Structure 1
Amino acid sequence: MKKLRKLPDYPFDAIYPPPRSLRAGNVLPLIITKDISPHLIQLSQIALKKYNDDNNQDPPFEFDQLVKSTRGMSAGYNYFITFKAAKQSSNTSSTIFQAHVWAPFDGSSPKVVSCAIKRT
């Protein structure tokens, strides 16, 4: 039972699978390049807005920086993004968040599946 509780954290810390195990849908680490970075920042900001709205954050959290990301496929891309955010107009340190955002292949708007402060 304890293992099942840990399962949702897996995609955020994915490791490369053995070469012969690759198949559609694997969740793999995503190398954050200058080309993918703006997209990941945008998805993080969408997830953070939902988090702020759902939790009535006042002042709200503002995106600070990307930490890492993984990506898998399922009728679109499932992005699992770890990023830092800080309270707006505050001198507090950044908080680490984890978000799961699904971006459909048809180009429609991304859907935030979850966004939460990372459990330690």
Structure 2
Amino acid sequence: MFLKSTVFTGFVVAVISLAWGISGLMNTPPCPYARGCPAAPDAGTRMMVLFIGGFALAPCFILVVRRLDWPPLTGLPTGGVIGVAVALESGQTLGYWILAAVMVVTTSGIAVWLRTAIRSISVSPEPVD
């Protein structure tokens, strides 16, 4: 039970951190200079959280697939919904709405796809007599 709740929480936190990192990087204005622009004050923090969130998803996926246990996958859509709130809190322009829609569709699609794959692996066919 502890492992299930840990993986669920890992999915939620990783997806929220991805949403926060991506939405923060969308705030940077376009650069008028050819040789580069100074970064936003919190760009380094957002990039670090973005990479940590991405790398945190790998152990969660590995644990779900190795244990053939799909209920912790519900952390993906849960994190996606909370991530939508985080992204839309950063801004309300078209780009943020696109990010929100892609996040919900992607997290839900991955969860359904992995659940179907895990169920097909874990259900062994009956031997024919």
- Same fold, TM exceeding 0.5? no
Structure 1 or 2: more helix by fraction: 2
TM-score, scaled to structure 2 = 0.28
Which one has the largest radius of gyration?
Answer: 2
Q: Which has the higher strand share?
A: 1
TM-score with structure 1 length normalisation?
0.29
